[in-house]
Structure 1
Amino acid sequence: MASSRRGLLLAFLLASFPTVSIAAPPPTDPYIWLEQISSPESLKWVETENTRSLAVLETDPRYAGLYADAVKIAEATDRIPMPGQIGDQITNFWQDAGHVHGIWRTTTPASYATATPQWRTLLDLDALSTAEKTGWVWKGADCEPVGERLCLLNLSNGGEDATSLREFDLGSGAMVQGGFALPTSKQNVTWENADSLLVARDWGPGTMTTSSYPFVVKRLRRGQPLEQAAEIFRGKPSDVSASPNSFVDGQGHRLTVIERGVTFFESELFVVDGQKTAKLDLPTKFRLQGFAANQLLLRIDQDWKGLKAGSLVGYRIAGGKVAEQQLVFAPGPRQSIDEVATTRDHVLAVIYDNVRGQAWSFAPGTSGWTAKRIPLPDNASIGIVSTDRLSEDAYLNVQSFTVPTTLWLADAAQATAREIKAMPPRYNAAGLVTEQFEATSKDGTRIPYFIVHRADIKYDGSTPTLLNAYGGFQVSETPVYQATRGKLWLEKGGAYVLANIRGGGEFGPAWHEAGLKTKRQVVYDDFAAVAEDLIKRRITSPRRLGIYGGSNGGLLMGVEMTQRPDLWHAVAIQIPLLDMLRYEQLSAGSSWVGEYGSMSVPAERAFWEKTSPYQALRRDGKYPEPFIWTTTKDDRVGPVQARKFAARMKEYGLPYLYWENTEGGHAAGANLKQAARAVALEMTYFTRKLMDPTEPPSTPVK
C-alpha cells in the first residue's frame, strides 16, 4: 500500500521469527503446538506432510512439463526490465537463471529506450548472499529525494517482512563505509534529509505493537549509533503501526509527516517540525498518495467537509495546520482511484471505470486542478511503474488477460504516451475470448466478473474452470496478463474467471465497507453467486469447477469449501487465514481487526464462531480434497493456520494435500524457481482434479 498500511498488506507488508503471543487456547484445540513455528515438533510435522503430498504431485507425469514451462516463463530473459527513475538514471532489479537472488543495475534513459540496454551492475545479491551466508531477498531501494544519490537498500532474510537496511552510494556503486546501517526489524524509515533519517523500528522491549509493528519514531543522524537516536513520536501499543514519510515536490517544497495507524483503515497524521509534531485536522480514513504543488495528496475513504469518500484531495499545510483543501478528482459510482504518483508539475492517477483502467494527468491552477486523459488501450489494466519529481516522464504498464504487458512512456505535461517495450506472448491466446458478466448475489447486488475461455467451448458444463477472487482490504482485482496460468491452463482448454466481489476496492470505499466484520457473509455470498451463474450459463459444472486464493483470499477459499462444498471439485488454499477465533494472537493478526472484527466483541465473535473455516470443519463433511500451501518464513499471516486446518482434516479422516515452502515470506517463494514450483504444483493439482476424464483417487490420509 502506498502508505505504511499498504506495505503491511498488499503487493496483506527480526532476523528470526518473532515470538508468537499465545493466549489460552480453546480446550477443544489439540493443535496449538503447531503455532510454535520453528519448533522441532512442528518442523517434523511439516516434513512429513510435504513428503506425503509431494509424492503425489511431483510424481504425476505432467508435473515435470508444467514445472519446466513455469520456470522458462519466470526466467525468460526477454521480459521487460521494469524501470525505476532515480535522478538521471534508470535502475532495475533483475532475476534469471544466472542471478537467482538477483542484481540491481543501472543504465541511462537513452540506453534504456533501445532494444538492448547497456546495464551496469550496482549490487550482485547472489554474491552478497554467498559472502554473508544469508539468503537475501530484495525488498527495494529508498533513495534520498533531493540528491538522488544515496539509497537505503531493504534486504530480507528469506522473504520475511522484516528487513535489514544498508546505505548505498549510486555514484560510487558501493555500500557507504560507516553509513546508515539498520539491523533486521519490521521497520518504516524515511529520509528527512541527506544526513538524517526518521526511523520506526524495534527499539527494544515495549516498542512494538501487538500487531508486531513499530509505534515509536526516532530521529537518527549520520554517525549516531541507534541507541543515541532521539525520540520524536510515540503511538500506542494497541495501534497497528507508526510510519514516517518525508516528501519533496518538483519545486523543492518539503513536508515531513508521521502516520499513526490506529487501525488498519483509520489513521492520524502529524506534521513534523524539528522536535515537535502537530496533529492535522484530516479524515481518519485515508491513503497517503504523495506531495505535489505544495499539497499533500490523500485519497479520502470517508465523506469529509463536503467531499465524497473515494476522492483524491490536495491539502496545503502551513504553520502545523491544514491551510487549504482542494478537490483533485471525485470518482463516479462505478469508478475508483487505484494508483497515484507525482511528476515535476503534475499528478498521475490510474482510475478504474467498471474495472477497466484509465490514466489521467492532473495539473494545479489558480482555480483548482484540471484533468486530461492519457490515451491508452481500453479494456485493460494500467499500472504506474515509475515517476521522478524533476521530470514529466512517467512509465506506465498496460496489460489484459490475453494481451502481454507493454510499457509506455508518458509525458504528464502533454498527456501523451507511446509504447516503448512489449513482452512477447507466453502462451497461445488464439481463439480465446474475454467476457464480462454479472451475477446476482443473495441480497440482489449485481457482482461483475470476467471470464476468459475458448470461443468454441460447448455450453454443456464440461469446461474445466478456475475461479479466483480476493474480497478484502479494499484491494481491486483487475484484468492482468497471467503468463504462467495462461500457458499451464488456458492453452490446455481451461477457462479462467476473476470475480469482483465486495470487500475489494473496485467501486470505492462503499464496496469495501459492505463486507466488513459481521457483514462479511456478503463477500462469501457474492463468490458463491458467481459460481452459480457460471453453472447456470452451463459454462462449467461443479465437477469441473475449481477455486483458488491467497492470504485473505485463502480465508475466502476456506469459507467457500466449508459453506458450499457442493459448488466445486477442487480448492487451492494459499498462505491463508483459517482460524479466525485466534487470528488476533497469531503473527500480525491483530492489525486486521478493522477488517475482520475482534473476538473480544461478542457479536463479532459469534459471527466467526459459525464462519471460521477451522472451526466449521465437520467429520462427516463432503468436501473436495483441497491443496493447502503456505511458507514457513511468512511473518505476516504465518504458516500456523494452514497447518492446523490440515491437521484437523487429518484427524477427521478427510482427504487433503499440504505443502509448506521453507522460504518465501508472504508469497510463493524467495526466488523465481520457488515461485514456479508453487504454480506447477498447484496446476498439477487442478489438472488432476478438473481436466482428467476420470479423477485419480484421493490421497490416503495416514
Structure 2
Amino acid sequence: MRSLLLTAAAAALLTGTAAAQETPGAEGAGYDRADPFSWLEDVEGERTLEKVRAWNERSLPVLEAVPAYDDLYDEALAVLTSDARIPAPEIRGEYVYNFWQDEAHVQGLWRRSSIEAYAGGAPEWEILLDVDALREAEGEDWVWHGASCAPASDRCLVSLSHGGSDADVAREFSVETKAFVEGGFVLPEAKQDAAWVDEDTLLVATDWGDGTMTESGYPFVVKRWRRGTPLGEAVPVFEGQPKDVRAAGITVHRGGRTYAFVLRAETFFEDVLFYQGEDGLTKLPIPKRADFEDIVDGKLIVLLREDWSYQGTAYAQGDLVALSLEDMTAEAVFSPNDRQAVQRAAATSDALYVELLDDVAGEAIRLTPGPDGWTAETLALPENGVVSIAAADGDRPDLFLSFESLTQPDTLYHYDAGSGMAEVMALPAFYDASDVVVEQREAESADGTRVPYFVMGKRDVLEAGDAPTIQYGYGGFLIPILPVYYDDPARPQNGALAGKMWVSRGGVLVLSNIRGGGEFGPAWHEAALKENRQRAFDDFIAISEDLIADGVTTPGKLGAIGRSNGGLLMGAMLTQRPDLYAALDIGVPLIDMFRYDKLLAGASWVGEYGDPDIPEERAFIGAYSPYQNLSADADYPVPFIYTSTKDDRVHPGHARKLAAKLESFGDDFLYYENIEGGHGGTANQEQLAMRTALEYAYFVRQLMGQTQEADGSRSD
C-alpha cells in the first residue's frame, strides 16, 4: 500500500474534534465550530442562499459570455430532446412502457405500446400520464421518479418527487382509467420503497415516525400494508438498526407466484437477505457481499462480491450462483475469468441473460440450465462497444438488448431463441464521426498496476497532438466507466454530447478506467477502498501524465471532469496535482471528508471511504480530503463547481464550502447551484442542457482560450 502523508493542516485537524452544535436547517447535523464555513451547510438558510445567489450572479455571465455558449446550449438541447432518440423499453406483460421527455414535454410523458408494435419498430403510444399537465393542474413541482405495478393488475404506484430530490410521494394509479385511484394507496413524501405482494398488499419501508430512519436518512422498518387500512396500522414485518443503511421489501412475480424478500443493507456493500416463506422470514445463507439478480425456476440468482464456501463447494468472487429457495442447495451458473466482469443478469421464461465486460468490451451471454450444469452461448452482437440488457420479463421468452460505442449510435435489438436477433430501431448520428477514432490505451500507476483508458478524438487532432483534452473519471462504488454513445445523458462519457460539443470542435475526450470502479469485477473496486483510496487518485494522475508524455496534450490544455464520487476525485486533483490541469469541473462533489458521514446520505458510504470518527481511519481520510488539504499558498487552476440545493444525497454544503474556502484565499473560481434537480443537479432536459452547455463553455474558455471581453470583443 502506498504510504499516505498528512499535510500540516490536516494533521492539526486530527488532534481533536471541536465541540458541535445544531445548525438550523442543516438537516439536523452538528457542525464543527472551528470551521468558519460550516454555516453553508444550512441548506436553504437565508444567509446561505444569499451567498449562493451572489456566486451564481458572478459566474453565470462569465460562462454565458463565452462565444460558443449559445451554440453549445442549442446543441445539447437538440440531442437531449430529439424525437429520434430510442424510447427506452420496460416490459410489463404484453406492453412496453416508456418515460419520455422532449422539447414539448419537458417533465415527461409516461406511456405504453404493445410489444408487437414496439418490436416492429413502429410503437403505437398510449399516453398514461402527462407530468407537465399534472404539475400545472396540481401546482406542484413534480419530477418523475418511476412506477411499479401490481401483478396481473392495472394498478401501479407512481412516484413523484418535489424538484427532483430523492424523497418522493407514491400514489396509486390505474393504467386503464389513466387516473389516480380515489381512496387508493398513498405514501406521503419520504425516502422510501414499496413492493407489490398482490393487488391489495404492499411491503412498505418509509418514515414511520421518530426513530425509524437510519443515520443515512433511509427507512429501516418494513411493514405489510393491506388495502382499506390506514398506513399507521400496517403490520410490522422486519426492523433493522439505525446504523444500517436501509431496509426494503422486494417482490418478484413469476408464473403467477410471488417471491417476497426483505433486504437489510447493513452497509453500502453488505446486505442480509431474508426470504418470506410459509413459516415467516428465513435468513438466506448467501454472503453479505452479494447482489440479488433475479429468480429462475424457483432459484435465486446472486452475483458474488466475495468468495463463498457453502456445503463443501467453493465459489469465487465475481461468480453467478443459483440458490434453490426450496431446499437451499446451490450451484454455479457462470464464472468469469480475471479480465471479465459480470455487470448484471436478467431472466426470461426460458433462460438467464448476462451483461459481461471482457477487457472493458461488452458481450451478452445466454445461459440455460441442464442436467450437467448451465450452458453458455454468446449472442451475435457488434463488438468493441457496450452491450446492455434493455428490458426483460421473467414470464416471456424474448428480451431487448442494445449496443453502442463512443462513435456508433445506440442500436436496439429484439431477441428470441426461436426467431433469433432482429434490429428494432437505431439512434441517428448526432455528430459526424467519420474522422473520429477511439483508442484503448494503458498507463502505469504508482504501484505498477496497468490502468486502461479510452482516447477519443479526430484523427488529425490526435496526430497533431497538444490538443485541448477533457479527462473523465469516477473510481468508486463498483461503477465501471464505459464508452457509451447516449445511455445516461447526464454523464460526461456520453459520446453523442461529447462528440457534438467537444470532439467536433477539435477537443479530445478521455475515459479513465481507474480502480474503485467495476471494470474488472469486485477486486478492481476493492483495490481502492478506504485506506487504499489514493490508488484511484494515483491511477487518474498516471493517465494524465501518460497523455502528456505521449503528446496528446499539455498541462495548459488538459482539463478533468467528475461528479459525485468523481467530484471527490476532482477535489483530490485540485489539491494534489494542480500543476497538471488547466481546468477542473467539480460536480455535486464530496469535499469535506471529515463531515461527509454527518450530512444527508453520507453515513451509508462509510463502507467505501471509512469512518472519520475512528482515529486511524480519520488519518487516511485526512490525507486526501480536499477540504482539509486546500492551501492558501497553492497555485490552483480556476475550477468550475456546481451543485443543487435540492440534492438530498450529497449535501450541497460540500461544494459551497469548497467555493468559500477558495474565496477566502483570494482564488478565482466559477460556481453554479441549481435550486432544484436532486443529485443529478437538474430536474428536466432544459436544465440539463443548460448545465451541460455551462460545462463545455467552461472547457472552451479554459482550454481553447475563448473568452468574451467587457466591450463585447472576442479574445482567443
Same fold (TM over 0.5): yes
Q: 1:25 aligns with which of 25, 29, 32?
A: 32
Structure 1 portions without partners, runs of 5+:
1-16, 698-702
- The residue that corresponds to 1:198 in the other structure is 203
The Cα RMSD (Å) is 1.7
2:380 paired residue number: 375
Matches within 5 A, 1:638-677: 638-677=651-690
Q: What pairs up with 1:117-156 in 2 under 5 angstroms?
A: 117-144=123-150, 146-156=151-161
Deviation of residue 514 (structure 1)? Answer: 0.6
What aligned pairs does 1:515-526 form with structure 2 within 5 A after superposition? 515-526=528-539
Q: Which residue identity is paired with 1:558? A: G
- Contact map agreement 1:374 1:416 (CA 8 A) in 2: no
Counterparts of 1:445-484 in structure 2, within 5 Å, are 445-457=449-461, 461-481=465-485, 482=494, 483-484=496-497
Aligned match of 2:57: 51
The amino acid of 1:262's aligned partner reads E
| 1:201-228 Cα deviation digits (max 9, x unpaired) | 1000000000000000000001111101
Instruction: State the distance in 2 between where 1:262 and 1:56 align.
Output: 46
In the alignment, structure 2 segments of 5+ residues that lack a partner are 1-23, 486-493, 711-716
Which of these residues, 92, 103, 109, is aligned with residue 103 of structure 1? 109
Name whichever of 156-165 and 685-694 sits farther off. Answer: 685-694
The aligned counterpart of 1:4 is none
Greater displacement, 91-100 / 498-507: 91-100
Contact 1:343 1:391 in 2 (8 A): yes
| SS at structure 2 position matched to 1:152 | strand
Shift of 1:244: 1.0
Taking the aligned partners of 1:18 and 1:231, their CA distance within structure 2 comes to 31
Q: In 1, Cα distance between the equivalents of 2:66 and 2:678?
A: 27
Shift of 1:183: 1.0
2:511 aligned residue:
498
Q: Secondary structure, in 3 states, of the residue corresponding to 2:225?
A: strand
* Equivalent runs, 1:677-688 vs 2, <5 Å: 677-688=690-701
Name the residue aligned to 1:73.
79
Supply the AA of the counterpart residue of 2:135.
S
Q: 1:149 to 1:292 in 2, by over 3 A?
A: farther
Query: How many Å apart are 1:460 and its aligned residue?
Result: 5.9
Deviations 1:635-688 (A, max 9, x none): 001211000000000001111001001111010311000000000000000001
Identity of aligned residues (%): 45
Q: CA deviation at 1:115?
A: 4.9
Q: Quick one: distance in 2 between partners of 1:253 and 1:228?
A: 26
Q: CA deviation at 1:459?
A: 5.0
Tell me how far 1:181 sits from its aligned partner: 1.1
The answer to whether the 8 A contact 1:461-1:544 is kept is no
Aligned to 2:214: 209
C-alpha change, 1:18 and 1:212, in structure 2 (3 Å) is farther
- One-letter amino acid matched to 1:203: W
1:140 aligned partner, one-letter code: G
Change over 3 Å in CA distance of 1:72–1:467 after alignment to 2: same
Is residue 183 from structure 1 mapped to residue 188 from structure 2 by the alignment?
Answer: yes
The AA in structure 1 aligned to 2:55 is E
**C-alpha separation between the residues in 2 aligned to 1:514 and 1:435?**
25
Offset from partner CA, 1:374-415 (integer Å, 9 cap, x none): 11000011111111122111111211001111111112x359
| Alignment-derived partner of residue 542 in structure 1 | 555
Equivalent pair of 2:67/2:707 in contact (CA under 8 Å): no
Q: State the shift of 1:24 in Å.
A: 4.4
Q: Which secondary structure does the structure 2 equivalent of 1:51 belong to?
A: helix
Do residues 327 (structure 1) and 332 (structure 2) align? yes
Q: Shift of residue 509 of structure 1?
A: 0.7
1:610: how far off?
2.3
Q: Which amino acid aligns with 1:652?
A: F
Q: CA contact under 8 A between 1:232 and 1:276: conserved in structure 2?
A: no
Superposed CA deviations along residues 90-147 of structure 1, whole A, max 9, x for unmatched, are 2211111111111111221232245543211111111111111111111111112x30
Query: AA paired with 1:39?
Result: G
What is the rounded CA distance, in whole Å, between the counterparts of 1:18 and 1:222 in structure 2?
36
TM superposition score normalised by structure 1: 0.94
Name the TM-score, length of structure 2 as normaliser.
0.92
Report the counterpart of residue 8 of structure 1 in structure 2.
none
1:295 alignment counterpart: 299
| Structure 1 position 694, deviation (Å) | 8.8
Give yes or no for contact 1:139–1:156 (8 Å, CA) kept in 2: yes
| Letter paired with 1:533 | D
Local SS of the residue matching 2:606:
helix
Q: Deviations over 1:556-603 (max 9, x none)?
A: 000011101111110000000000000010110000000000012212
Task: Give the distance between the partners of 2:708 and 2:553, measured in 1 at CA.
Answer: 16
SS of residue matched to 1:247:
strand
Residues 190, 207 of structure 2: 8 Å contact kept: yes
Distance of 2:256 and 2:361 partners within structure 1 = 35
- Counterpart of 2:324 (choices 316, 326, 332) is 316
AA partner of residue 21 (structure 1): G
1:150 is aligned with what amino acid?
R
User: How many aligned residue pairs are there?
Assistant: 674
**Residue of 630, 634, 653 corresponding to 1:617:** 630
Shift, 1:256, TM fit: 1.1
Separation in structure 2 between the aligned mates of residue 116 and residue 284 of structure 1, nearest angstrom: 44
Alignment CA distance shift 1:381-1:150 (3 Å): same
What SS does the aligned partner of 1:548 have? strand
Moved more, 43-52 or 164-173: 164-173
Q: Which moved more, 1:539-548 or 1:147-156?
A: 147-156
Native 8 Å contact 1:360 1:415 kept in 2:
no
Displacement of 1:165 after TM fit? 0.8
Question: What is the CA–CA distance in structure 2 between the aligned matches of 1:68 and 1:678, rounded to whole Å?
Answer: 12
Q: How does 1:505-654 map to 2 (within 5 A)?
A: 505-654=518-667
Hey, what's the Cα distance between the residues in 2 that align with 1:324 and 1:458?
55
What do residues 414-467 of structure 1 show as CA deviations (whole Å, max 9, x unaligned)?
593221100110011121111001000000000000111111126564211110
Displacement after TM superposition at 1:277 (Å): 1.7
Other structure's SS at 2:584 match: strand
Kindly tell me: are residues 278 and 539 of structure 1, through their superposed partners in 2, closer, same or farther at Cα, counting changes over 3 Å? same
Given residue 110 of structure 2, which amino acid in structure 1 is its aligned partner? W
Q: Which moved more, 1:89-98 or 1:400-409?
A: 89-98
1:273 is displaced (CA, Å) by 3.4
Q: Deviations over 1:46-82 (max 9, x none)?
A: 1111000001011222211111111111111111111
CA contact (8 A) 1:410 1:416 kept: yes
Letter of the structure 2 residue corresponding to residue 219 of structure 1: R
Q: For the residues of structure 2 that align with 1:209 and 1:303, how far apart are their CA atoms? A: 29
Aligned to 2:5: none
Q: Deviations over 1:300-351 (max 9, x none)?
A: 1000010000111111113xxx621111111110110112111112111100
Alignment partner, residue 85 of structure 1: 91
Residues 1:273 and 2:281 aligned together: no
- What whole-Å deviation, never above 9, does each CA across 1:251-284 have from its counterpart, x for those lacking one? 4443211110000011111112368322121101
SS at match of 2:308: coil
C-alpha contact (below 8 Å) 1:462/1:544 kept by paired residues: yes
Cross-structure match for 2:173: 168
1:433 maps to 437
